[in-house]
Amino acid sequence: MIFHMHMQMPLLVAAGFLMAPFFQKKLPSFFEKYNLDGVPGILLFMIVMFFWNVPRTMDDALTIPLVEVFKFIVLPFLAGVPLRDSWRKLTERWKNATLIMFMIVYTATGILYIASPVQLCNNYLVKEQITLGWGFITIAAAILIYLIQLLFVNPSDYE
């Protein structure tokens, strides 16, 4: 379960992230027209990522082959590509808001997976569910540490 959500899905997003320059060259007017300031793209990225964090979608991806194929299309093209196009266009405020939103959602999801007395995903054991919850908590803690260090270090000093 942790491999599925914290390894496979981020790698699919990373694949889309790496493919984004190709699409930006082929469709520059599309990205300029619909993602001018980066906000629509980052919102699409967040919606897709939060959708795939729902336990039901995890189960469906394992039991329904069409949903598995959908995952392999949606994560690269509707999460990775918009993330690459949007991140450089966003202001620091939007970047930090995005990270804070992920920190909050990952903390809540982690607590849900850890504290749930029942099995949330039918295809995984409760022990795997708890491990996944701690993975979410760890990622949220890493985001928090990054945001705290931003208070003391100005990233533009290193550019």
Q: For the chain, which residues make up each domain, given as ranges?
A: 2-158
Averaged pLDDT of the chain: 91
Q: Please check the confidence at residue 159 and state whether its pLDDT lies above 80.
A: no
Q: Please check the confidence at residue 34 and state whether its pLDDT lies above 90.
A: no
Residue with tokens 């980066």: 38
- How far apart are alpha carbons 10 and 79 in whole angstroms? 10
CB atoms within 10 A of CB 89: 15
* pLDDT, mean of residues 27-37: 85
Which residue type does 26 have?
A: K
Work out the end-to-end distance of the chain between its first and last CA atoms, rounded to an integer number of angstroms.
Answer: 38
Rg (CA), the chain: 17
- Percent of the chain scoring above 70 in pLDDT: 97
Give per-residue pLDDT as tens, 130-143: 999 999 999 999 99
Q: Give the pair of three-digit tokens for residue 9.
A: 């899905």
pTM listed for this prediction = 0.88
* pLDDT, mean of residues 11-20: 95
CB proximity list for 87: less than 8 A, separation 6 or greater? 38, 42, 95
Give per-residue pLDDT as tens, 59-103: 898 899 999 999 999 999 999 999 999 999 999 999 999 999 999
